[in-house]
Structure 1
Amino acid sequence: MSEHIIAFILGIVEGLTEYLPVSSTGHMILVGHLLGFEGDKAKTFEIIIQLGSMLAILFLFWKRYLSLFNFKTIGKPEKKLDIVHIILGIIPAGIAGVLLHHAIKKYLFADYIVVITLILGAILMIFAEKKKTAITAETVDDLSYGQAFKIGLFQCLALLPGFSRSGSTISGGLLVGANHKASAEFSFLVALPVMVGATGLDFVSSLHSLHASDFSLFAIGFITAFIVAMIVALVFLQLIQKIGLTVFAYYRILVAVLFTIFVLL
């Protein structure tokens, strides 16, 4: 199989899984292993196509991001998502990421860790569905500063490869009184700045692996991930209120089993 076809397949995988609560890391490792696309070039490729997924969220929510800087609404009695919500939502993972980034990359990107976190993430999602509290935030604009910060604490779990950023933050949202759609939208909004920081660090450290001859390979993966991630994010926001997290939790367990069979054994 040519590398360009592999790039297209992995671009689809990245776009499908980055914003679903199923762990893009676990899927990329599993599919990359099955396709025989591993090593330094594969790691750099994964960083590039993740940038494509990030751009999709910026493209979809650019008006919302601009509205966050309406400083006249900050601290006012009327409810409206503002920049303070986003800052509170990213501070915990931002601090933890800066302090632990090197250690996580060095010690926690082992295959067996991904299997464990896939299952732990599934347990959290099932627990959140069963123990979710009374809804006080029907939309993302109804979130309080306290709820934003608590969801940010849950986002710290996403620093563990295989846990899933959207899975942890949506679970956190349910447990602090937000409904599925509000939790998912806030998850997308706070994911971008955290991912920019984490991916930016990885990108700088991987510059030595970039070669002009690989431009078409990276371009195919980047564009594919961008388009697929945009479609998936839109569909997911419409469906999450109806289907909840449990179906994704069971799917994660299935992926953990497949991961064990095809990667670990």
Structure 2
Amino acid sequence: MDIILLIQAVIMGIVEGITEFLPISSTGYLILSADLMGFWTKEKVDLFVVVIQLGAILAVIYDYWGRLWHALTGLITGKAEGLNNPRQLGLSLIIATIPVMILGFIFADDIKTHLFNPVTVAIMLIIGGLLIFYVESRPKTIIAVEAEDVSFKTALMIGLFQCLALIPGTSRSGATIIGALWLGVSRKASAEFSFFLGIPVIIGAALLDLLKHSDVLTNSEDWLVLGVGTLVSFIVGLLLIRWLVAWVSLRDFKIFAWLRIITGVVVLIAAWVFGYQFAG
């Protein structure tokens, strides 16, 4: 058993748990972390980066089980306690999921082959940071206070924003939260709708990737490394979800914009000035 590899998997799990729900790109930071640590081969890292996100999204399911159950039962039966339109949230999430599912199914392998590298991540981190500053500087008119209030039209627009997150470094949470804010969804509702929207997208992507590429995991140690990373991401994600909701209810995302831009600039400097040869 390679203890160093397990320690690296724990670090990757911590990185995923911290970054999944922040607008800073969990995939981007996982790629950078793996590259800096020399973690695994590229083929295994590419699978690991996608599947480990299951841990963080399972934390969402655990923490929001009551509301998600109401959304599911409301979608099926048309009845849900305390909701005027019990099918609204469930249908909105389905509508918002369709665009990224279609594009992800068609282009996932090409994206992983050509864009899963630190320089692409750095560029998208910078672009995303600038977009956060732009959206946060605009006056906002709130059209949806709770996630259950998001209209089908707004859900489709959020789903189109989510497609940008197929490019590593963009951030799924960042694209959906900032996109929702731009469209007039409240800060709290933007964060929670983004959490819920990640459930079908991340579970679908992880299962599809496992189905297509599980052959790169050649022994029980490989599966253990993947399991450890996923478990750690679940634990860390569970600790951070409520904190983020409280944060966004009171503050803006400009601090994360600065973090994105600074990280992106540092990576580009490392690639250009110091001639650092990134893996993959």
- Establish whether TM, by shorter chain, passes 0.5: yes
Q: How many residues matched?
A: 263
The secondary structure found in structure 2 opposite 1:135 is: coil
| Match status 1:251 vs 2:259 | yes
| Match status 1:185 vs 2:192 | yes
| Match status 1:66 vs 2:77 | no
The one-letter amino acid paired with 1:142 is D
In the other structure, the counterpart of 1:93 is: 100
Instruction: Quote how far apart the aligned CAs of 1:203 are.
Output: 1.5
1-side partners of 2:116 and 2:12: how far apart?
19
Over 3 Å counting, the alpha-carbon distance change for 1:216 and 1:107 in structure 2 is closer
In the other structure, the counterpart of 2:49 is: 46
**Residue of structure 2 aligned with 1:17, choices 19, 26, 35:** 19
2-side partners of 1:30 and 1:123: how far apart?
20
Q: Please list, as runs of the form range in 1=range in 2, the aligned pairs for 1:1-265 lying within 5 A after superposition.
A: 2-39=4-41, 40-69=43-72, 70=74, 71-72=77-78, 78-79=84-85, 81-210=88-217, 211-262=219-270, 265=276
The one-letter amino acid paired with 1:252 is R
TM-score for both structures, normalised by structure 2:
0.86
Residue range with higher mean Cα deviation, 38-47 or 175-184 = 38-47
| 1:188-241 deviation line (CA, Å, top 9, x unaligned) | 111110112222222122211222133442332121110001111121011112
Kindly indicate whether the alpha-carbon contact (under 8 Å) linking 2:27 and 2:49 is maintained by their aligned counterparts in 1: no
Over 3 Å counting, the alpha-carbon distance change for 1:207 and 1:85 in structure 2 is same
2-side partners of 1:107 and 1:44: how far apart?
15
| 1:57-91 deviation line (CA, Å, top 9, x unaligned) | 221222222212314259xx935543111111111
Kindly indicate whether the alpha-carbon contact (under 8 Å) linking 2:32 and 2:118 is maintained by their aligned counterparts in 1: no
TM-score for both structures, normalised by structure 1:
0.91
Kindly indicate whether the alpha-carbon contact (under 8 Å) linking 1:147 and 1:176 is maintained by their aligned counterparts in 2: yes
2-side partners of 1:125 and 1:33: how far apart?
26
Instruction: Quote how far apart the aligned CAs of 1:132 are.
Output: 4.7
Instruction: Quote how far apart the aligned CAs of 1:47 are.
Output: 3.5
2-side partners of 1:98 and 1:41: how far apart?
20
Percent identical: 37
Gap regions ≥5 residues in structure 2: none
2-side partners of 1:258 and 1:224: how far apart?
27
Instruction: Quote how far apart the aligned CAs of 1:263 are.
Output: 5.6
2-side partners of 1:88 and 1:246: how far apart?
29
Over 3 Å counting, the alpha-carbon distance change for 1:205 and 1:262 in structure 2 is farther
